[in-house]
Chains A and B, each alone.
Chain A
């Protein structure tokens, strides 16, 4: 396993429109969200010994958040640092780098860099590390300046880049997913990102609240590429989505991380014991893990079961190009 004392893994946790921590007991959806976030941190702690783990929080009850977070399972074997982004902005520790007031996903990039001397990777809270992430280590030990997650689609469209999808720089490009965004030690391209965000019509389009942030990341990497600043898009079969990961495991691909985009998070929550077992026991063989998932899936709702089972059907199509 790689010594990762040159790495920071950072997560950003916010609050949803209608849920406050004071009503936490009633708000199972938010509890589920926090559980998955903590599972994500826990899973990466297995494979990043020595790394700094930082949780950036932009909700409004920081102390209560810490209390809930620490009480909740799973426990974390390594230390985690917590940063209250709201207070930091209020106290002037961080400046608002946007021309608009950041809400939701835009908080992820305040600050853009925590420590320039380390390889810094922002990881979304719905990504689990299932086994040694060799594809990540390759980037860490390679030359590319930036690393990003793969997206499931072949070409940039509105559903991958929101309001920026027609940008000429993005024409016919393969989309990256902003669930994982890393920069090499000594490099900081934040200013380019914030220059790009000047185009954002925050709040005036639906996509500006969500997917356009991913569009900004895509424009960021591809515009930097024009200047010779390279990026790596992680391999999709190694860094799979929940809707495909059984398909890849079944074909003996090495699924290292699992991204539960959108409502697929519910499936992980419903099978929490299987996933907790996998995270707590990194040596638990992937084949057994797959079998346990399939067994457990018998208890799922029809649609959730379908998402898993269809991956093993012979007619399952659409992602073969990633096997190449």
Chain B
């Protein structure tokens, strides 16, 4: 796959996976192709016969539950399938960070696994595009660790991945663009941006009885931040980017709230959070039209240039 376009949309694992007919058609009208995003499941290595040849393969973060030899076997197996693109990790410093390891030990292990995985892929599947773990917004100490890790490993990637799922406030734009800036300063590389923004136009009842309703910014407000986010990241990356809409589906909120079991799962992860509202359609499948128009408006204005 040539990745010659500026904008794509993702469907599949760990993204808002079902675009539905409506989103398929609005994206198609604008000439935006869907790309399959999948996790190479570590626990199902024997059943990988049908890995998507043109998709984006994400390594399964559960490799942290296994030792280095299992990890290397796993990456060899991934390399054998000659994936078009491999993302080495999604969120190694935030969501996917294993518990119980000290910072220094974890950082060294992460470094070792990134280097090992890249070596195996380079040797056994030289055509594979190797994408970095996500550059993503985090607290100050974690951001500093991210930057250090990128500075140590930048030589092994073909492109950086940045997770741009911020609310679009000046603060968040500034933090994320600064992180990108710092990573690019060490080694300038093409940047892939995973892009979506949370929005919800109805009241979210609290998970716990007695709590106040959860509030998240409206699709009107979010739509106003789409262009500033895009422009700021473009400036930070000097336009050397490819953008992937990762919210082309329904909000996760709907699927969780619809049955008791999932509500219990929500307890496990704490409260409702922006990640539950990052679809371009709400829980009932209704499109967030202002937001969709804002995204498509960016595409249109980019095409005009």
Contacts and interface: CB of A to CB of B under 8 A. Distances in A.
Interface of A: 15, 17-20, 23, 60, 86, 89-90, 92, 96, 99-104, 201-204, 209
Contact of A18 (B175, B178, B221, B234): B221
Contact of B171 (A15, A92, A99, A209): A209
Given A96-B181, A101-B178, A86 B231 contact: yes
Contacts of B224: 18-20, 23
Contact of A99 (B170, B173, B182): B182
The 4 closest A-B pairs by CB, nearest first: A101-B177, A203-B175, A103-B174, A100-B178
B234 A202 contact: no
Interface of B: 139-140, 168-175, 177-178, 180-182, 221, 224-225, 227-228, 231-232, 234-236, 238-239
Given A20-B227, A23-B224, A202 B178 contact: yes
B170 A209 contact: yes
A48 B276 CA distance: 55
A203 B227 contact: no
A49 to B, nearest CB: 36
B227 A101 contact: no
A19 B170 CA distance: 12
A15 B225 CA distance: 11
Contacts of A103: 170-171, 173-174, 177, 232
Given A100-B174, A101-B178, 11 more contacts: A15-B228, A20-B228, A90-B234, A99-B181, A101-B173, A102-B174, A103-B173, A202-B178, A203-B178, A204-B140, A204-B175
A160 B170 CA distance: 21
Given A23-B224, A99-B182, A203-B178, A60 B231 contact: yes
Contact of A86 (B168, B171, B182, B235): B235
Nearest to A201: B140
Given A60-B231, A101-B178, A203 B172 contact: yes
A197 to B, nearest CB: 12
A62 to B, nearest CB: 11
Contacts of B182: 99
Contacts of A20: 224, 227-228
A96 B185 CA distance: 12
A179 to B, nearest CB: 20
A209 B174 CA distance: 9
Contact of A101 (B140, B168, B225, B232): B232
A17 B169 contact: yes
5 contacts: A17-B168, A90-B234, A99-B178, A99-B181, A203-B172
Contact of B174 (A15, A99, A202): A202
Contacts of A201: 140
B181 A100 contact: yes
Contacts of A17: 168-170, 225
Nearest to A18: B221
Contacts of B177: 100-101, 103
A171 B38 CA distance: 57
B139 to A, nearest CB: 8
A104 B236 CA distance: 15
Nearest to A16: B170
Nearest to B227: A60
Contacts of A101: 173-174, 177-178, 180-181, 232, 235-236
Most B C-beta atoms less than 10 A away, residue of A17, A92, A96: A17
Contact of A89 (B171, B178, B225, B235): B235
A100 B170 CA distance: 13
Contacts of A18: 221, 224-225
Contacts of A100: 174, 177-178, 181
A15 B168 CA distance: 13
A208 B177 CA distance: 15
Nearest to B297: A22
Contacts of B168: 17
B227 A104 contact: no
Given A18-B221, A60-B228, A86-B235, A203 B171 contact: yes
A202 B236 CA distance: 15
A43 B238 CA distance: 38
Contact of A90 (B140, B172, B239): B239
Contacts of B225: 17-18
A90 B238 CA distance: 6
Contacts of B236: 96, 101
A206 to B, nearest CB: 9
A209 B169 CA distance: 11
Most B C-beta atoms less than 10 A away, residue of A90, A100, A103, A201: A103
A104 B175 contact: no
